[in-house]
Amino acid sequence: MPGRGRAEASPVVVSVGGSVLLTGEDDAPYLGRLAELLSRLGRAGPLVVTTGGGRTAREYIRLGAALGLTSVEQDELAIDVTRLHARLLAGRIGLPTASHPPTSVREAVEALRHASPVVLGGTEPGHTTDAVAALIAVRVRAARVVNATDVDGLYDADPGRHPEARRLEHVGWPELLQLLHRASSGEPGQNFPFDRLGAELLARAAIPLAIVAGRDLPNLEKAIAGAAFHGTTIGPEAR
Ligand code: UTP
């Protein structure tokens, strides 16, 4: 279209699991390299990154439950942990990323107008940071969401318990939603392949989802860039 100038790249949203950020093994060097990658890709195109709470969040949820806190209060404790992880990553990335992460989807979308990457944790009780990633993706019409997790894709059974489980290269949205309905019961701190609310939002908006091992940074870069990667793609068949 004449007069529109160069088309702007569609944003990409990455949901990094807490289980990837803090494993207890080589966390500082990994976080340093992850920050470097996200900073570079964020300069090349609009990028939003959500950080999960992992086992630290689950520990606080467990303590909160043992002390009789409500599930909303347990979620709020866990959200604070996800925000700590966002601050770790954002602090390492430095400017232009805000060191105190946005606390809502609206703030994150606004922040993306001025800076990339935007890094944030959770927003409100009742879902996980995967859903935050999906909500933002829908708002900014993202090209894709990348879920950087502690497995290298989606399997047809739990690979921890079933060694014969096969990794699925590609899954359609109806198939994924069925898997999630079976796997999730919606309690705080549950570990799903991807948040059910998030998956439903992405399915409705027809935004593809990539599931990749977050510690394999060259592969994570391919998934963010939209190149062929090792993992699982959810959505329309890859072209
Ligand atoms: P995570 O996004 O870390 O979920 O949120 P997870 O499934 O444990 O993922 P990993 O292990 O990091 O990959 C942890 C918990 O924080 C609360 C929920 O209780 C969630 O289960 N939370 C998080 C919210 O209530 N709202 C949010 O927006 C984000």
**pLDDT digits (tens), the chain, 239 positions:** 333 334 578 999 999 999 999 999 999 999 999 999 999 999 999 999 999 999 999 999 999 999 999 999 999 999 999 999 999 999 999 999 999 999 999 999 999 999 999 999 999 999 999 999 999 999 999 999 999 999 999 988 777 788 888 999 999 988 888 877 776 655 554 445 788 889 999 999 999 999 999 999 999 999 999 999 999 999 976 54
Ligand 1 atom closest to Cα of 126? 25
Verify whether ligand 1 is closer than 6 Å to residue 79 (CB atom).
yes
- Which pLDDT does position 179 carry in this prediction? 77
Here the tokens at position 69 are 């806190």
Verify whether ligand 1 is closer than 6 Å to residue 57 (CB atom).
yes
* Run of H or E including 234: strand 232-234
105: closest CA among 92, 124, 88?
Answer: 124
Verify whether ligand 1 is closer than 6 Å to residue 188 (CB atom).
yes
β-pair type (167-168, 154-155): antiparallel
Which of 129, 132, 147, 194 has the most ligand 1 atoms within 8 A of CB, as the residue to mutate?
129
Pair 222, 229: CB distance under 8 Å = yes
Verify whether ligand 1 is closer than 6 Å to residue 13 (CB atom).
no
- CATH fold for the domain made of 4-234: Carbamate kinase (3.40.1160)
Q: What is the chain's Cα-based Rg?
A: 17
Ligand 1 center–CA 3 separation, angstroms: 44
Count the Cβ atoms, other than its own, within 10 Å of residue 206. 9
